[in-house]
Each structure stands twice: as C-alpha cells, then as structure tokens.
Amino acid sequence: GSEVLQDINLELKPGRLTVIIGESGAGKSTLCDLILRLRVPTAGKILYNELEIGRLEEDFLRGLTALVEQEPFLFEGTVRENLLLANPNASESQLWDALSSARASDFVRALPKGLDADVGQRGVMLSAGEKQRLALARALVRKPRFLVLDEFTSSLDVENEAEIIDALIATASDTIILCATHRPSIVAKASEVYQLANKHLLRIDPSSVPWQAAAKVEP
C-alpha cells in the first residue's frame, strides 16, 4: 500500500505534553501505533533512550507504555479487576490515586459497590465518558514512562477535560505524554504542537494553531 507518513522527525521529552493535530485520516493514529510498536515502520527508526525500539523486549516495552484510545475496551468484570489488569500489584490507594487523576473517583464512589461494581460486557454499564476516564485511570495505574492519548477525551465535557489535562501535567514529571486530538482546550495546554498533513509533520506555534482544524470533530 501507499505510505501514510513520510519524513517524520519527532523528539519527545518527559514532563511535557506534546499534541498532534490534523484532519481525520491524516495518520495521527498510525503515528501513535508506530511509536508504541503496534506497527512496524517500513523505513526510518524509532528510538527510546537512543535504543531502537525494535531491539527492546516486547514485555519491557509494554511495561513502559500505555495507550488510551477514543473507544477504549473494558473487560467484563469489576472496576477493580479492570484497573488491576494494568498492574496486578497496585494497592487500593494507588487505584484511587489513578482514579482521582483521571477524574473518575467521584463516579466510582457513587456506584453501588464502588471498586467492586460490575462494569458489564465492554463496559456497557458505564457512559462513554465514564469509560474513557476509567480507561485513563487504568493506564495511570501502570505508571507508564510513555503515555499515548488518542482522542481520549472525545466524550468528555470541557471542564472535565481541562481538569484531567492539568492533573496529568502536574503528576507526570517523569512521563512522556503524546496526545492526538482535535480539542482546542488540550492544544492550549501543550508544550509543543505538531500538525500532521499531507503525510508530513510540522511543528507549529501553539498560539497560532488553526483552530478550525484543531476543533474539527471526527465523524
């Protein structure tokens, strides 16, 4: 097939929120998948601490990374069981810390059984926004060195979204955060913003973001 991305040059650093904007189908999700080694590049290299990620043990790489997608997958079972999938050794206080950072603690406390409430098959007992926040909490339980967020707040209101981004930036000094989004409120908080268009990635000034493109909602 034809190349989706060409001549991509991107450096990501801990403690910074890097945002990628672009039209639907521009390749944002593909770029996220490449960085997480969910896809293999046909040319070029992706390095982690100067080591090519293809040379890292897959289990080691998975332990470093976490992905939160627009439509996250929750397993049938309880809130606690879904969270512990990311880190079976996490304490209850660590679970609540992650839920708090993801602005999910209030709705979980309100559930009839709290952490032990059943989420249903694929999280059917929860709203779309609750599923997104629970998926983010699950990612944070892992304490990843590299957090990739792919349209992860599409079902959240602006207030919740802003609080989550602020909490992530405040608590993630050792974490690389990469966010593919169309949401202007996230773009406004970014350390670096890149626009993906015509297969190429261009760094742009956050204050000069084309807001119509940033705010465009994917169908």
pLDDT tens per residue, range 9-32: 888 889 899 999 988 777 788 888
pLDDT at 212: 45
Measured CA to CA, the distance from residue 200 to residue 166 in angstroms comes to 29
Measured CA to CA, the distance from residue 176 to residue 198 in angstroms comes to 26
> 86: which 2 tokens?
């990311």
Taking residues 102-125, report their average pLDDT: 93
Band of the pLDDT at 217, cuts 50, 70, 90? very low
Question: Does residue 183 surpass a pLDDT of 70?
Answer: yes
Question: Does residue 107 surpass a pLDDT of 50?
Answer: yes
> 171: which 2 tokens?
């608590």
Question: What are the backbone dihedrals phi and psi of residue 47, each rounded to the nearest 5 degrees, phi first?
Answer: -115, 145
Beta partners for 176? 146
Mention the CATH class of domain 17-215.
Answer: alpha beta
Band of the pLDDT at 1, cuts 50, 70, 90? low
| Closest CA relative to residue 147, chosen from 36, 45, 30 | 36
The conformation of residue 142, written as its DSSP 8-state character, comes to: T
> 105: which 2 tokens?
């603690």
Residues above pLDDT 70, as percent of the chain? 93
> 211: which 2 tokens?
């807001």
On whether the CB atoms of residues 169 and 139 are closer than 8 A, the answer is no
Measured CA to CA, the distance from residue 47 to residue 53 in angstroms comes to 6
Beta partners for 149? 68, 179
> Other C-beta atoms within 10 Å of 120: how many?
12
Beta partners for 194? 20, 203
3-state SS assignment for residue 65: strand
Band of the pLDDT at 54, cuts 50, 70, 90? confident
Question: Does residue 151 surpass a pLDDT of 50?
Answer: yes
Helix 92-101 × helix 158-171 angle, to 10°: 130
CA 61-15-157 angle, to 5 degrees, is 95
Taking residues 110-133, report their average pLDDT: 91
Count of CA atoms in the C-beta half-sphere (13 A) of 41: 17
